[in-house]
Amino acid sequence: MLESLIINMKKFNILKSVPANLPMINVDTDMIIPKQFLKTVKRTGLGKSLFFEMRYDENGNKIESFVLNNKPYDNSSILITGKNFGCGSSREHAPWALLDFGIKCVIAQSFADIFYNNCFKNGMLPIILNENEIEELTEYSKRKENIEINLNEQDISFGNKKIKFDIDPFKKKCLLNGLDDIALSLKQSDKISSYEEKMKKNKPWIN
């Protein structure tokens, strides 16, 4: 039964993309994916509604000034943004929408805790950098050239420079190996089955 719940996360190691810059602070989850799109429990199809109220006008036309509506940023896999990204409600649809659009890494000065952890659970890399490093990457994004994120080495390469970033070792291991919570549980399936058999014998009334 557990097997049917696996997300099949892709392994994350090296990511190359032109970074898109969204210079805003306190971007909450309702801005990332508005509440009217939360009816689905599928992880696909939400990308078209990502940042809906900022990407489209009241007639449903794309707003030309919004960064993700412009080439080459409309194909960006990396988003650079401001402090406290992903605040507000705890909806997991927020990382789903980003991933479905194609965003696999978000770089910010800080994240809301629940959003930050939900990123890892869905195969997305959130990177925390200081203000000067964010400004440096923001300026580079204007060149419309690729940057490279190497998770194994924990660095970001752009031009002739590199920026190091920190990450929890366990979260890093999960991303590198494409492991979500269910997959981690399945790695202990033998121990789980053994425990269940013991429970059947020692406390049969539970079953």
Give the residue among 99, 107, 97 at the shortest CA–CA distance from 53: 97
- Cβ(78)–Cβ(104) under 8 Å? yes
Per-10-residue mean pLDDT for the chain, 207 residues long? Answer: 55 96 97 92 89 96 96 98 95 95 98 96 96 97 97 97 97 91 52 59 69
| Distance from C-alpha of 162 to C-alpha of 147, rounded to nearest angstrom | 10
pLDDT of residue 21: 98
Domain count, the chain: 1
pLDDT at 42: 80
Helix axis angle for 93-101 and 113-121, nearest 10°, is 50
Query: Which pLDDT belongs to residue 2?
Result: 43
- Let me know the angle formed at the C-alpha of 13 by 187 and 179, rounded to the nearest 5 degrees: 20
pLDDT at 203: 72
The CATH number for 101's domain is: 3.20.19.10
Q: pTM, whole model, 2 decimals?
A: 0.84
**Which residues constitute the domain of residue 111?**
2-206
